[in-house]
Structures are given as structure tokens and as C-alpha cells.
């Protein structure tokens, strides 16, 4: 009997070796420097793809492949994961993944997966959007958070009050429905209406629902300027009492008076970690942010619908109160202390304003460049429908300090813009490439393996996203091949519609969406749903 077992084992070993020799890979990437997404140093190996999976990593010189690519001298890495993306809009038909499904701005940076539903705004119901994406995919994979602001608005509109017990139960049901459908957690935008009207206890109640499904809490915090440290404490409290990990999204200290405070910011993060809060961060590598110009108005002024807002602006006494609040915001927070630091990125009702600062517009109109006039201009813009703005309010030293923290990953906080439309933030086209060019190659503040880990394995770990973000046998074949000596962001604030350079090949679920630097037109992206059984995973850097 023992001999029979031994003989059978030998037969199966010989058969398996023969099968391995006869394997025909769909793609072999030959001789590249493999960065596996765990933060470990690279190694030279061939990577074999078969179908939608990574089938082999090693010496594949004798193996056959439908497509063999010589990638010697190039980096082979997991496809990058953008954990904070606006490629999905709360109104699905406006989503960049449907308007520009080739997602060239992302693909040319090596991004293969984006997480939508950021800053508290997501499509509802989540399952309807994901089902649509199953049928009409783009070139990238898409996952969703469920947005607190969208949930609150669905139940309460833009009401500036606490929910009734019945309304809170309705919100909890919507969050549960979204998590059942595969959302990866709860996002919040506590600086934005209507999320700004929510007490901490309301958010905790909803976070507890997401926690039951292994989700995370990822907020645009209530304040990123003068009260950023208070907002951190609120975030940590939500994580503790909600029973789930927290992700401080687009981590920053905003406003001239806060420059240098990233040291205190990170000290609070480290203290929370020591106290058992599972906290991490993401960051876009720029000193300017971007959002609607209306964020300069006090939150109470934005309650209700557009008619309510206009009525407040048309009442002389109320307008004065609003203008005073905008002046303070321009001086101390999102205005960066100078009307030249607020730039209009896209004004649908007057595109001649695109790319001009508040100071520039005032000068063209023959008005003095003062905080009072800049505030009045903001109110006039809001009356006409608002504009997207760019706010130059961070300091480079703070950006670098946050970037280097071991719990910080990279995001774009961008979407998939329509090429040539407006003057959007360059992060839409360059965030990931900028890290590799500026902070890895030029300034050597990160090693390539550290940066790639922050773009792949770390966000995959944070999400509990299985089999993506790492290069290992059996993982999904989301793979980027790039030239670390040449990768470069080209987008600038003045000329943002420029694709990044240096990415040579990109595969999404095993299919080439970029081959030899050329977009192929394939759209193999998938809707990524969080399995209910998936909770926290081991950090790939410490397996």
C-alpha cells in the first residue's frame, strides 16, 4: 500500500511538471524589476499572466506565451489603487467612468482601481450603480463607499437639524443596504452640506452599521484648518465608538496660520494608534486643494435648497453676516490669506473666468483687491450658480511630512475629467506619477518600494481588498510596467490637461489597456464588491 501511494504521488508529480512546461501564458513580462506591493526591495523575475490572474513569478524563459514583452530595466508593480476618487458622481450619469470610460488620465499613471463615493457623496442605491457598471465597465476597476451626505439628503434633504429617531433608522437602513450590496465602508463630508449639520453621535450610529460588515470610516473631516486637531479627535472617537478603522482622507493642515502644524497633527495620529485606534491616512501630493467655491460660505447659509440660499443672499442684513464669515475664511482658512490663492477652475455659466484667481477677476472688473471685495465676489459667484475652485492653502513641508508617515497612502482626490474642459486641479492627471518623479527620483524622500507600497499594497490592506494591490501567484492580474527613470507628471495648474509620461504597459484583470505606451481601447474593469465575510487583513508589509 505504501509503495502504491508513493508510486501514485510520483506519477502526479511528473504529470504536474509536464503540465507546467506546457502552460501557455497569455502574457509573460520578461526580466523586469518586480516590486510586489509589500514594500520589500525589488527582485528580477518574469511575471506570467493567464486569464485574469497572475499565474507565475520566476524564471519563465522556457515557457510559451501568446504575448511576450521584454521589460528589462523597467519596474513591474501591482496596479495602483486610488482610495479617494471622484470618478463616480452621486448622479451616476455624470460619472467620469461613463463619460470617459477609457480613463486615460488614470491608466497613464498606472492606476487600475478607483474607489468612488468619497467625501460623503455616493450614488444611491449602491447596488444599482454597481449593476450598471457590470454591464458598462470602464478600463479601471471601481468600488464604492456609501456616502453619509447622500444618505442624509435622501432622508432629510438639506435640513439643518438633528434627525428624528425614525429618520435615523431610515439612514441606518440605507447604509446597511449599501453595505449588503458591496460598499467598502462609510464616507463622510462633515465640511459639506448636509453632513456639516450632523452631530458626532449621528455619524457614530451609521458607522456602527458599516462596522457590522467589516467596512471602514473615511471622512473629509469637519475642519482641516484652524480646528483640525479637534476634528482629528472627533474622527478617532467615531472609530472607537463605531468599532471600525478610520481613514483620514486627503490628510492636510490648511491655511497659512496652520503651516507647520503637521507635526502636531501626526503626533495625534501616533497617539491614537498607541491607544488602539486603527487609523490610517491618504494624501494627494500638492499644496492646493479643490472643491466648490461655496465652501467659503458659512455652513448655516447653505441650508435648504438653492432658493433658500438665494433668499439669504438677497437679505441685506443676512448677506452682511455671510460676507463677514467669507472674509474670515479667506483670511484664515481656505483663502490662504490672499485672494490670489483662490483660483476659479470651472464656471459653467462663464468659462472666461476659468483659470483666474479672485484677485485677477477683481482687477479685470476695476475693483480693489481686498478681502472685502473678494468676499463680495464670492457671493456674486454663488448667486450665479457657483464655480469649482482651487485653493492654494498648504505648505510643502507639511505635505512631505504627512507623505512620509508609514500609515499614509496616495490618492488623487480627482476624477476622470473631460479633456480640455475647464482648468481643473493637476492631481486629476498627475498625482501618482508626481510622487514617483518628485518625491522618489528627484528628492529621494521615499524609496521606489515605499512609494509603490503606498499606492498598492497599503490601500488594498486598508480596504480588505483581497488579491489586488500585490504581485503574487493567484492574485488578479492588475499590473503596471513603468520606467522609474522617466515617469513624470506633466499636468500643471496653468495647463492641467496633460497626461503623465513613463508608464509603458498596464493590465487590468489580465487585459492590456495600455500597451507600448498606447491606449488599446479595452474596458476590462470590474465592479468590486466587498464580500461580507472580509474584515481586516494583515498589512502586506508585515506579513
Task: Compute the distance between CA of residue 204 and CA of residue 245 in angstroms, rounded to an integer.
Answer: 12
pLDDT score recorded for residue 541: 55
Mention the CATH class of domain 78-287+394-463+475-522: alpha beta
Count CB-CB contacts under 10 A for residue 305: 11
pLDDT score recorded for residue 532: 77
Whole-structure pTM value: 0.93
Q: Of all helices (H) and strands (E), which one includes residue 309?
A: helix 306-314
- Which residues, listed in sequence order, are joined to residue 283 by a DSSP beta bridge? 410
pLDDT score recorded for residue 1: 41
Exposure string over 499-519, b if 16+ CB within 10 A, otherwise e: bbbbbbbbbbbbbbbbbeeeb
CA distances from 139 to 87, 133, 260, 329, 352 (A): 12, 11, 40, 40, 33
Task: Compute the distance between CA of residue 421 and CA of residue 413 in angstroms, rounded to an integer.
Answer: 18
Count of H helices and E strands in the chain? 17, 21
Length of the chain: 543
Q: Concatenated DSSP letters for 428-463?
A: HHHHHHHIIIIIIIIT-SS-HHHHHHHHTHHHHHHH
pLDDT of the chain, 543 residues: tens digit per residue: 434 333 443 443 343 344 445 679 999 999 999 999 999 999 999 999 999 999 999 999 999 999 999 999 999 999 999 999 999 998 888 999 999 999 999 999 999 999 999 999 999 999 999 999 999 999 999 999 999 999 999 999 999 999 999 999 999 999 999 999 999 999 999 999 999 999 999 999 999 999 999 999 999 999 999 999 999 999 999 999 999 999 999 999 999 999 999 999 999 999 999 999 999 999 999 999 999 999 999 999 999 999 999 999 999 999 999 999 999 999 998 898 999 999 999 999 999 999 999 999 999 999 999 999 999 999 999 999 999 999 999 999 999 999 999 999 999 999 999 999 999 999 999 999 999 999 999 999 999 999 999 999 999 999 999 999 999 999 999 999 999 999 999 999 999 999 999 999 999 999 999 999 999 999 999 999 999 754 444 455 544
For the chain, the structural domain boundaries read: 78-287+394-463+475-522, 292-392
Instruction: Dump pLDDT digits (tens) for 182-229.
Output: 999 999 999 999 999 999 999 999 999 999 999 999 999 999 999 999
pLDDT score recorded for residue 16: 38
Pairing assessment for the beta strands 111-116 and 80-82 based on DSSP bridges: parallel
Q: Please, what is the angle between helix 371-383 and helix 316-332, to 10°? A: 120
Side-chain-facing half-sphere of 238: CA atoms under 13 Å:
34
Task: Compute the distance between CA of residue 437 and CA of residue 417 in angstroms, rounded to an integer.
Answer: 22
Q: How far is CA 405 from the centre of its chain?
A: 17
Q: Residue 229: what are its φ and ψ, rounded to 5°?
A: -70, -35
pLDDT score recorded for residue 19: 45
Rg, C-alpha atoms of the chain: 24
Helix, coil or strand: residue 315: coil
Side-chain-facing half-sphere of 138: CA atoms under 13 Å:
26
CA distances from 307 to 91, 174, 350 (A): 21, 28, 21
- Which residues, listed in sequence order, are joined to residue 292 by a DSSP beta bridge? 388
Task: Compute the distance between CA of residue 168 and CA of residue 171 in angstroms, rounded to an integer.
Answer: 5
Count CB-CB contacts under 10 A for residue 468: 24
Q: Please, what is the angle between helix 165-181 and helix 200-212, to 10°? A: 30
Amino acid at each position: 500500500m505504501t509503495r502504491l501511494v508513493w508510486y501514485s504521488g510520483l506519477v502526479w508529480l511528473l504529470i504536474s511538471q509536464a503540465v507546467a512546461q506546457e502552460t501557455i501564458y497569455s502574457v509573460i513580462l520578461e526580466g523586469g524589476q518586480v516590486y510586489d506591493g509589500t514594500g520589500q526591495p525589488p527582485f528580477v523575475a518574469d511575471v506570467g499572466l493567464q486569464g485574469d490572474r497572475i499565474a507565475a513569478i520566476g524564471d519563465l524563459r522556457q515557457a510559451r506565451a501568446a504575448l511576450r514583452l521584454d521589460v528589462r530595466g523597467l519596474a513591474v508593480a501591482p496596479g495602483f489603487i486610488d482610495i479617494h476618487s471622484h470618478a463616480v458622481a452621486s448622479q451616476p450619469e455624470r460619472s467620469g467612468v461613463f463619460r470617459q470610460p477609457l480613463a486615460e488620465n488614470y491608466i497613464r499613471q498606472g492606476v487600475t482601481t478607483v474607489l468612488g463615493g468619497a467625501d460623503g457623496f455616493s450614488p444611491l442605491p449602491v447596488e444599482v450603480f454597481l449593476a450598471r457598471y457590470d454591464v458598462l465597465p470602464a478600463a479601471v476597476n471601481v468600488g464604492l463607499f456609501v456616502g453619509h451626505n447622500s444618505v442624509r439628503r435622501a432622508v432629510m434633504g438639506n435640513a439643518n437639524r438633528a434627525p428624528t429617531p425614525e429618520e435615523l433608522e431610515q439612514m441606518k437602513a440605507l447604509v446597511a443596504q449599501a453595505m449588503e450590496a458591496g460598499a467598502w465602508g462609510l464616507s463622510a463630508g462633515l465640511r459639506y452640506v448636509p453632513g456639516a449639520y450632523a452631530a458626532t453621535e449621528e455619524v457614530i450610529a451609521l458607522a456602527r452599521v458599516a462596522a457590522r460588515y467589516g467596512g471602514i470610516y473615511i471622512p473629509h473631516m469637519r475642519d482641516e484648518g484652524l480646528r483640525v486637531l479637534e476634528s482629528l479627535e472627533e474622527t478617532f472617537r467615531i472609530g472607537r465608538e463605531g468599532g471600525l478603522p478610520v481613514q483620514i482622507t486627503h490628510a492636510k493642515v490648511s491655511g497659512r496660520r496652520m503651516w507647520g502644524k503637521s507635526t502636531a497633527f501626526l503626533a495625534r495620529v501616533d497617539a491614537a494608534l498607541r491607544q488602539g485606534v486603527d487609523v490610517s491616512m491618504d494624501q494627494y501630493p500638492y499644496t492646493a486643494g479643490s472643491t466648490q467655491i461655496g465652501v467659503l460660505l458659512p455652513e448655516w447659509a447653505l441650508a435648504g435648497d438653492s432658493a433658500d440660499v438665494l433668499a439669504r443672499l438677497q437679505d441685506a442684513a443676512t448677506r452682511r453676516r455671510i460676507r463677514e464669515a467669507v472674509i474670515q475664511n479667506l483670511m484664515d482658512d481656505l483663502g490662504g490669506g490672499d485672494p490670489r490663492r483662490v483660483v476659479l477652475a470651472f464656471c459653467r455659466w462663464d468659462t472666461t473666468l476659468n483659470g483666474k484667481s479672485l484677485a485677477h477677476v477683481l482687477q479685470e472688473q476695476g475693483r480693489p483687491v481686498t478681502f472685502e471685495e473678494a468676499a463680495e465676489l464670492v457671493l456674486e459667484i454663488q448667486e450665479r450658480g457657483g464655480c469649482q475652485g482651487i485653493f492654494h492653502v498648504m505648505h510643502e513641508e507639511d505635505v512631505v511630512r504627512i507623505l512620509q508617515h508609514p500609515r499614509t497612502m496616495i490618492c488623487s482626490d480627482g476624477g476622470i475629467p473631460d479633456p480640455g474642459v475647464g482648468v481643473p486641479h493637476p492631481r486629476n492627471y498627475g498625482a501618482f506619477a508626481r510622487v514617483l518623479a518628485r518625491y522618489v527620483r528627484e528628492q529621494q524622500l521615499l524609496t521606489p518600494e515605499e512609494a509603490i507600497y503606498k499606492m498598492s499594497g497599503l490601500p488594498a490592506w486598508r480596504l480588505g481588498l483581497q488579491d489586488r494591490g500585490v504581485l503574487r501567484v493567484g492574485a488578479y492580474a492588475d499590473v503596471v510596467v513603468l520606467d522609474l527613470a522617466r515617469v513624470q507628471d506633466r499636468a500643471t495648474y496653468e495647463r492641467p490637461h496633460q497626461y503623465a509620461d513613463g508608464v509603458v504597459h498596464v493590465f487590468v484583470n489580465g487585459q492590456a489597456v495600455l500597451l507600448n505606451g498606447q491606449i488599446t481601447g479595452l474596458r476590462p474593469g470590474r465592479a468590486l464588491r466587498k464580500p461580507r465575510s472580509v474584515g481586516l487583513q494583515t498589512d502586506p508589509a508585515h506579513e
